[in-house]
């Protein structure tokens, strides 16, 4: 599976540090307020959760503090991400983190065994998303939730300016990497995501845009969910 590092030309360690530093922005108060309102009511007290492309596992550690009886599993293709996450000390349930490429390998969970599958800024990288979505649908319980949070298309100058405004890199580096990442980050519009999810057998319960660059979808297998 392609990675952000291979597309942008950054090292695994550099991207790891960026993931750690940017975690509060990705999973801040607005995200958890949305989660509490639109996802939590559908979860049991002891949920089974799978995070695909989990990076350093910080979201799962946050979730473990909120659900100390949860069974949490995180999968990523970058060894440095998994190693970092495995060294952390939990304040609640400890996630099980492992190297796994969902684009080429089935998930180890049995069919219908998972209450929540999450995927943040990963699905856009895949050349063939539908087989991965089918695998997610397989492991989800009938009333399970697939929470997708991913990039949405923006005009090139807007995208490059946002990267520059973040001031995480020198201007020349930011522009160079921005041109390399633009085709991947801007592959799908909101309408494209909606079509893709429906084509894969998911119904959209809720959606929102907490950040100008990303759309957040709460979905369920179509035989249980009602579109919204």
Confidence tier at 171 by pLDDT (50, 70, 90): confident
Q: Over 80: is that where the pLDDT of 8 sits?
A: no
Backbone torsions φ then ψ of 53, nearest 5 degrees: 70, 50
Average pLDDT over residues 169-190: 90
180: in domain: no
User: Which residues face 146 on adjacent strands?
Assistant: 117, 219
Q: Domain tally for the chain?
A: 1
Average pLDDT over residues 119-144: 96
Beta strand 214-221 pairing with 140-151: antiparallel
- Count the neighbouring beta carbons within 10 Å of the beta carbon of residue 138: 16
Average pLDDT over residues 168-175: 82
Q: Over 80: is that where the pLDDT of 97 sits?
A: yes
Residue pair 74/54 in contact (Cβ under 8 Å)? The answer is yes
| CATH number of the domain where residue 104 is located | 3.40.50.150
Q: What is the pLDDT of residue 38?
A: 97
Residue pair 190/198 in contact (Cβ under 8 Å)? The answer is no
88: in domain: yes
167: in domain: no
169: in domain: no
Q: What is the pLDDT of residue 175?
A: 87
94: in domain: yes
Q: What is the pLDDT of residue 225?
A: 39
Q: Over 80: is that where the pLDDT of 208 sits?
A: yes
Average pLDDT over residues 5-18: 82
Q: Over 70: is that where the pLDDT of 224 sits?
A: no
User: Which residues face 203 on adjacent strands?
Assistant: 220
pLDDT digits (tens, 9 = 90+) for 58-78: 999 999 999 999 999 999 999
Query: How high is the mean pLDDT of the chain?
Result: 92
Q: What is the pLDDT of residue 226?
A: 39
55: in domain: yes
Q: Is 11 helix (H, G, I), strand (E, B) or coil?
A: coil
Domain around 121: 4-39+46-153+188-221
What DSSP letter does each residue of 160-205 carry, written as one string?
HHHHHHHT-S-HHHHHHHHHHHHHHHTS--HHHHHHHHHHTTEEEE
Residue pair 115/145 in contact (Cβ under 8 Å)? The answer is yes
Residue pair 203/146 in contact (Cβ under 8 Å)? The answer is no
65: in domain: yes
Sign of CA dihedral 218, 224, 227, 228: negative
144: in domain: yes
Distance of CA 134 to the CA centre of its chain: 16
């Amino acid at each position: 599976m392609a990675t952000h590092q291979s597309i942008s030309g950054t090292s695994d360690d550099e991207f790891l540090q960026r993931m750690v530093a940017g975690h509060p922005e990705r999973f801040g108060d607005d995200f958890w307020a949305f989660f509490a309102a639109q996802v939590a009511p559908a979860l049991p007290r002891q949920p089974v959760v799978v995070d695909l492309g989990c990076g350093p596992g910080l979201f799962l550690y946050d979730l473990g503090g909120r659900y100390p009886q949860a069974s949490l599993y995180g999968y990523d293709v970058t060894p440095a991400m998994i190693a970092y996450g495995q060294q952390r000390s939990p304040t609640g349930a400890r996630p099980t983190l492992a190297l796994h490429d969902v684009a080429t390998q089935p998930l180890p969970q049995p069919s219908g065994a998972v209450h929540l599958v999450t995927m943040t800024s990963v699905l856009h990288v895949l050349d063939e998303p539908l087989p991965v979505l089918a695998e997610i649908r397989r492991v989800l319980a009938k009333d399970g939730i697939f929470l997708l949070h991913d990039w949405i298309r923006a005009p090139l100058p807007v995208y490059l300016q946002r990267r520059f405004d973040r001031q995480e890199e020198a201007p020349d580096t930011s522009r160079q990497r921005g041109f390399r990442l633009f085709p991947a980050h801007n592959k799908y519009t909101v309408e494209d995501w909606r079509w893709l999810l429906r084509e894969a057998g998911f119904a959209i319960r809720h959606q929102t845009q907490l950040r100008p660059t990303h759309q957040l979808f709460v979905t369920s297998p179509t035989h249980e969910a009602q579109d919204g």
